[in-house]
Amino acid sequence: LPDRLGAIAGADTLTLIFYGIFFADRLVLDLVLTTVIVIVVGFPPAYFFISQQVRLAVLAAKLDRIARTDGLTGLSNRMAFFEEAQALIDDSLAPAGSLLFIDADHFKSINDTFGHATGDSVLRELGAIIRSCIRGGDLAARIGGEEFAMFLTGADRNEAKQVAERIRMRTRGISGALGIQGREIT
């Protein structure tokens, strides 16, 4: 029993430190589960320290992903885009690339007229269109409001124009698909 109490104390201390800061709503549940597992199963304390460290590492990776992703579109956010694009530009062995910026025309009037929920739907659709038009090694991000950026790795001017045109053509259908009358996203 003494080593189980030590395991509980150690595991719960790690849980308190991490979850107390970031996930207070899950804190009690995790403390109870950890304690029950230690008492019922009786794993040695080292197991719990290791398992808590693994859980903390997984959650830290999740937090990093959340911090670098635009919550609405699922694309990278501004900070992540500029960091990753700069790394590609600085890599002397990486092939040259093309940088595209997109500003969705008429978005503000759609957002003002039809409401923020409709505006959010437009942005989600734009994000999906952009994601579908780029390759696996390319970068895409929502860098603010209705502004998007892409770094097309190894793409020349003609390839960049083709990607931009595909996005422009697919964007034309957003208004109709969302039931927005009289305003087209271009």
Residues 6+ apart with CB under 8 A from 56: 14, 18
Half-sphere exposure of residue 184, counting CA atoms within 13 Å on the CB side? 7
What is residue 136's DSSP assignment?
Answer: T
Question: CA-to-CA distance for 129 and 127, rounded, in angstroms?
Answer: 5
Is position 147 annotated as part of the catalytic site?
no
Half-sphere exposure of residue 164, counting CA atoms within 13 Å on the CB side? 18
Catalytic choice (83, 125, 146, 147): 146
Which amino acid does the sequence have at 28? Answer: V
Which amino acid does the sequence have at 49? Answer: F
Angle between helices 24-41 and 45-67 (to 10 degrees): 160
For the annotated catalytic residues, the residue numbers are 146
